[in-house]
Amino acid sequence: MLSRFVAFTSLGRTALPNLYDLFAFALIFAIFALIAHASHGVTLPLAAPEATSVSLDYGALPYYALRTALRMFAAIAASLLFTFVYATLAAKSRRAALLLVPLLDVLQSVPILGFLSFTVTFFLGLFPGSTLGAECAAIFAIFTSQAWNMAFSFYQSLRSVPRDLTEAARSLGLSSWQKFWQLETPFAMPGLIWNMMMSMSGGWFFVVASEAITVGDTSIKLPGIGSYLALAIEEKRVDAVLAAILTMLVVIVIYDQLLFRPLVAFSARFRVELSAGEVQEKSFAGQLFARTRWLRAALRPIGQLLHAVSLRRMELPIRSSGRKPASLALSRTVDALWLAVIGAGAAWAVLQIASYMRQELSMADFWQSVLYTLITMARVAVLMTFATLVWVPAGIWIGLRPRLAEKVQPFAQFLAAFPANVIFPVAVAVILRFSLNPDIWLSFLIVFGTQWYILFNVIAGASAFPNDLKEAAAAFRISGLDWWVNVILPGIFPYYVTGALTASGGSWNAAIVAEYVKWGSDTVSAHGIGAYISQATEAGDYPRIVLGVAVMSAFVIIFNRVLWRPLYELAETRLRLD
Amino acid sequence: MQTLNARTPLLATKPLLEMRGISQRYQTGAGEPGPAVLENISLDLRENEIVGLLGRSGCGKSSLLRIAAGLISPSAGEVHYLGKPVLGPADGIAMVFQSFALFPWLTVLGNVELGLRAKQVPKEEARRRALKAIDLIGLDGYESAFPKELSGGMRQRVGFARALVVQPNLLLMDEPFSALDVLTAETLRTDLLDLWVEGRMPIKSILMVTHNIEEAVLMCDRIVVLAGSPAKIGAEISITLRHPRNRLDREFQQLVDKIYALMTKRPEPAAAGREIAVAGLGMPLPRVSTNTIAGMIEEIAAEPYAGRADLPALAESLQMEVDELFPVAETLQLLRFADLEEGDIKLTPAGMRFAEADVDVRKRLFGEHLMAYLPLAARIKRVLDERPSHTARAVRFLEELEDYMSEDYAERTLKSVVNWGRYGELFAYDETSETFSLENPQ
C-alpha cells in the first residue's frame, strides 16, 4: 500500500536523462556558492534581542511547543504552495519539465541540514536586526526538508491521471482551471497527503535542528523546543533535557491524532480504485469532526466558497481550444535552443563553483572531504545493514500477527516522527561517562530516528502478505531458510525498499547532526563528512561548507542511483504482489 | 417509426455531424507520424438514427469516435457539427465511456451536476436538471452515493445521466456495455432503447462503437463496418427492423451472419513481394496465449465442427465476445493453422495435425510455423544464430518495431512473440535483463 505513494524518479525506459541531473546539480550549488559569497559582508554580529532569549523554566515549554508547531505549519503551508506551483508547471510544460524535474531530483538527494548556514545568513541579511530573518531561516530549513517529495508526488500524479477521466473532463467542457481542481488535484490527493504526512514526520527533526544555530559569530536561538534543548545541553541540565523530550512526545501524539490520522482517513475518499475493498482507515478526530454540528456548519461556507472558486472557468482569452500544434521542425528548433540555454547556464554554474573554490581551497581539501564522505557512507551502509538485520525479522514477526501488528504499527509510525536529535545529548552523556569511542558509538545515532521507517514498512508488508501464499507455503512444507528466501523476503521486498529508501535519505541528514554532538562545553565528534560540515558551519567557513555539502550530495545521488533505484525497479517490476 | 417524430428536426436538410476524409496516423516511438490507422473515412450522422461502428479490436474505431467528439484531432480531414468545424469538445455532443470514467470523489449527484456547473449553469438550475436526469435514467435514491458503492450497471447509468443532463443533440458511446456482465448489459440496453424509442431523451442521434455484432444489430439503424489496415469503411448496412427487435428472428440472425462474413472477408492481396516482407515485420500482433490457440484448434477439430466452424456459432459455444474471438482466429490464420472465409473458420492440414499431436510434436510444429510465417520470430532467431554470443537485447527489436507502430503496440507485439517463441522453443527470454538468448536455463 505504501509503495504506491513513494515519490521516486520515474522508471524504465522513460527514466530521467542523467545528463540533466548534472546540470541541475551544478546550478543548485552555483546559487549557493553565490549566496555564500554575497553574504560574506552581511554576517555582522546580531545583537541578541530580548525576543529570542530562552529560559529553562518548565512553565515556558507549552509556549515553546506552540512556537515550534507554528513554525512547522508555516513550513508545510509554504511547501504546499511550492508544490502546487512547481509541480504544476513541470507537469504542464514539457520544456519547463526538462529543467524542473532533474532539479527536483537533485534537491531531493541533497542533505538539507548542510545548507542551514547559508540560509540563516541569507535571511538574516534580508531582515537585518529583526528576528523575522531568523524565523524565516528556520521555516525555510523545515520547508526544504518537506517540499521536494511532495512536489514530486504531485508531479507524478498529474502525469498519471487516467486517460478516461481526462477525456471525460474534456468532453464535459471543463476549463483548465476547473479540470485542475475537479480532476487533477483530487486525483493527486492521496499521494500528496501521504507524502505531506511523511514530510511532517521528518520535519520535526529539522525544527529541532534549525531553531538554535551558530554560524561563525552569529548565534541564534528562536523560542522553541529546539532552543530549549540546546540551552539545556549548554547548561548540562539533564532534567530540562528530559522535559524537552517529554514535551516533544506530547506534541507528536497530538499531531498524530489531530492531523495525521484524520487526513489519511480523509484522503481515502480520493482513491481511484472503484472498489470498497480496502481496509478503512479510522480516525478518532475525524469521526469526532464528522459528528459535530456547529463546527461543520461554521466550516460549510468556507467549503462552498472554495467550491465556487474551483468552478470558475478562469480562461485566458488567447488560448482557444482549437489550437493546432505548431510544426514539428519549429518545435524541435525551440527545444534545441532551450536545451542550449540550460546547457550554457550549467556550464556557467560549473565555472562559478570552480573559480569560487579555487580561490579558497586546494585539491587537498577536496580529497579530504571525499575521504570523510567515504567514512560517513561506510557508516550509513553498515548501520542500514544492521537496522535491516534487526528490524526485518522483527517486522515480519509482528506483521504476521495481525492483532499485534495493529498495536505496534501506530507506535512505530510515531517513533519515526519523533525527532531523534532530541535524544542525542543523552547518548553523548553516556559516551562521555564511559569514555566510549565516538567513531563507533556516535554512529548509532545516525539510524536512531530513521530505523523505524524500515520497521513500520516491513510490518505493513508482512500484514499485507496474501493469505493464499502463506497457505501454499505451509501446504508444501516450505520452512526454515527456504521460507525466508523464497516466500516472505520477496513478499515484503517492495515495502522494505520503500522504508529503507526513506531511512537512508534521513540517515545522511542525521549524520550532519549526529557526528558532531555537544554536551555543555564538551564536544564529541566522529570522523566523517557530517562532522566536517558541522565544524565548518560553526567556524563560518563557507568554502568548506559548500565543498562538504557538494561532495556529500554527489555521493548521496550516486548512492541512490547505484543502489536504491535498481532495487526499486526490481521491486516494482518483479516482486509486486498485486 | 412514427414515434421518432416526437423529436423536432434541427436542420432538416443538413446532417448533424459530417466527417470528411478523416485519416489518422500512429505516433511512432520517435514521436513522428507513423503508418495510418484510419484512412479517408467519410461518415454522416443524420437525425433520428443510431449508428454503430463495428470493427476488429485495434482497428481505430475508438479513435474515430474520439475524433467525432473533438477529443483528438485527425491527421487529415474535417469534422463539422451543425455546419461548424469541430476543433475541440463541442457543446451539444456528449460522451459515454466504456470504463464509465466517473469521478470517484464526487457523489452521483456531483458527477451528474459537474458538466452543468462547469458551464456556469446556476446552482439551483443545475440541481434541478441533474435530479431530473437521475430520475430519467432510473437512479432515484442513489443521489448521495459514491461511485465505488455502486455496481457496474449503476455506475454506467451515472455515466448516461451525466451525458444526458447537458441536453446534447448527439450522444457518442464507446463500447458502453462491454464492461458489464451479460444480464446487466441487456437491461441497460433495453432501458436505453425504450427511452430512445419513446423519445424521452433530448438526444437527436447516437453514434456507438461496439465489438458486439448482436448488440449492433439490436440497437442500430445503420452499421458501419471498418475493415483493413489502415481501416476504411468496409461496408454500410441499414437495419430497418422495428424496435423492440427479437434476437431469434430469422431476419435478425441473417443480419448477424452477414456481418460476421463481412468482418472475416479476406483482405485484397498486397501488391509487390518486398511490400509483404516489410508489412510482415511491422505487423502488430495481438496478445493471444498459446493455451487459447491450442484450445481453439482442438475445439474446431472436434465434433460438431470437425475442422470447419461457423464463427457466430463458435463464439456462442465458447462464450467469447467477438473481440476475443477475432484475434485468436486471426492468429491461427497468420500461422496457417486455419483459414478464414465467409464467416467460417477452417483448419488447414497443419492445424488438423496440431490438434491430433502430443505436446512435444505440437511445440515443434508451432515453432516451425513461427519460423515460416512470422517474420519477426524468424528475424529474432536469425540474429541470435548469427551472433557469437547467441544473445540479443529486446530493445533492438523494439526500436525496429517502433518504426512501424506506436510504443504500446510495439511492446505488446514483442511480448506476444516472446510468448509464442517460448512455446515453440525457438529462443529463451530473460525478463530481468530483457535479453533474448538461445540457451534455456540449466
Question: Looking at CA atoms only, how far is residue B377 from chain A in angstroms?
Answer: 23
Question: Looking at CA atoms only, how far is residue B274 from chain A in angstroms?
Answer: 30
Asked, for residue B346, whether it belongs to a domain, the answer is: yes
Asked, for residue B154, whether it belongs to a domain, the answer is: no
pTM, entire model: 0.79
- Cβ-based contacts of B85 with chain A (< 8 Å): 322
Nearest residue in chain A measured CA to CA from B411: A13
A291: contact with B, CB 8 A cutoff: no
Q: Do A183 and B93 touch (CB under 8 A)?
A: no
Q: Do B103 and A170 touch (CB under 8 A)?
A: no
* Portion of chain B with pLDDT greater than 90, in percent: 39
Q: Any idea what the CATH number is for the domain that residue B247 is in?
A: 3.40.50.300
Asked, for residue B381, whether it belongs to a domain, the answer is: yes
Q: Which residues pair with B237 in a beta bridge?
A: B223
Q: Do A170 and B88 touch (CB under 8 A)?
A: yes
Asked, for residue B274, whether it belongs to a domain, the answer is: no
Residues B285 and B339 in one domain: yes
Cell 465556487 maps to which residue? A308
pLDDT digits (tens, 9 = 90+) for A46-100: 554 444 567 788 888 888 888 888 888 889 999 999 999 999 999 888 888 888 8
Q: Any idea what the CATH number is for the domain that residue B380 is in?
A: 1.10.10
- Cβ-based contacts of A273 with chain B (< 8 Å): 104, 148
Interface of B with A in 388-407 (CB under 8 A): 395
Asked, for residue B430, whether it belongs to a domain, the answer is: yes
What is the number of H-type helices and E-type strands within chain B? 16, 16
Residues B324 and B385 in one domain: yes
Name the DSSP letter for residue B387: S
**Residue B267: band (very low, low, confident or very high) from pLDDT cuts 50, 70, 90:** low
Residues with Cβ within 8 Å of residue A72, at least 6 apart in sequence: A142, A200, A203, A204, A207
Structural domain range at position B75: 2-92+168-263
Residues B62 and B185 in one domain: yes
A168: contact with B, CB 8 A cutoff: yes
- Cβ-based contacts of B105 with chain A (< 8 Å): 186, 189, 269-270
Tell me the C-alpha distance between A202 and A209, whole Å. 12
Question: Looking at CA atoms only, how far is residue A182 from chain B in angstroms?
Answer: 9
pLDDT at A387 (0 to 100): 93
Tell me the C-alpha distance between A170 and B172, whole Å. 14
Interface of B with A in 48-67 (CB under 8 A): 66
Domain boundary among B209, B230, B263: B263
Question: Looking at CA atoms only, how far is residue A311 from chain B in angstroms?
Answer: 6
Residues B72 and B181 in one domain: yes
- Cβ-based contacts of B117 with chain A (< 8 Å): 311
Q: How many domains is chain B built from?
A: 2
The residue among B173, B168, B175, B174 whose CA lies nearest residue B201 is: B168
Q: Do A170 and B89 touch (CB under 8 A)?
A: yes
Cell 512536489 maps to which residue? A151
Residues B201 and B256 in one domain: yes
Q: Do B89 and A324 touch (CB under 8 A)?
A: no
pLDDT at B440 (0 to 100): 63
B166: contact with A, CB 8 A cutoff: yes
B14: contact with A, CB 8 A cutoff: no
Tell me the C-alpha distance between B126 and B115, whole Å. 9
Whether the complex's predicted ipTM is more than 0.85 is answered with: no
Domain boundary among B233, B263, B293: B263
Residues B195 and B228 in one domain: yes
Asked, for residue B273, whether it belongs to a domain, the answer is: no
Residues B310 and B407 in one domain: yes
Domain boundary among B237, B263, B289: B263
Residues B256 and B327 in one domain: no
The average pLDDT across A430-435 equals 84
| Mean pLDDT across chain B | 85
Q: Do A168 and B149 touch (CB under 8 A)?
A: no
Nearest residue in chain B measured CA to CA from A187: B105
Asked, for residue B37, whether it belongs to a domain, the answer is: yes
Residue B243 has pLDDT above 50, yes or no: yes
The average pLDDT across A376-380 equals 91
Residues B66 and B182 in one domain: yes
The secondary element (H helix, E strand) that includes residue B237 is strand B232-238
The residue among A349, A346, A367, A348 whose CA lies nearest residue A547 is: A367
Tell me the C-alpha distance between A469 and A477, whole Å. 12
Q: Do A322 and B155 touch (CB under 8 A)?
A: no
pLDDT digits (tens, 9 = 90+) for A132-183: 778 888 888 888 888 888 898 899 889 888 888 999 999 998 888 889 998 9
Residues B319 and B355 in one domain: yes
Tell me the C-alpha distance between B310 and B295, whole Å. 16
- Cβ-based contacts of A320 with chain B (< 8 Å): 87
Asked, for residue B148, whether it belongs to a domain, the answer is: no
C-alpha cell at B159: 455515466
Domains observed in chain A: 58-271 (1.10.3720.10), 360-578 (1.10.3720.10)
Tell me the C-alpha distance between A208 and B322, whole Å. 65
Q: Do A171 and B87 touch (CB under 8 A)?
A: no
pLDDT at A429 (0 to 100): 81
* Portion of chain A with pLDDT greater than 90, in percent: 10
Q: Is A169 helix (H, G, I), strand (E, B) or coil?
A: helix
pLDDT digits (tens, 9 = 90+) for A286-335: 665 565 656 566 667 777 777 777 777 776 655 444 444 556 677 778 88
Query: Which residue type, as a one-letter code, is found at position A157?
Result: S
Residues B253 and B397 in one domain: no
pLDDT digits (tens, 9 = 90+) for B73-104: 898 899 999 989 988 888 899 999 998 999 98
Residues B289 and B329 in one domain: yes
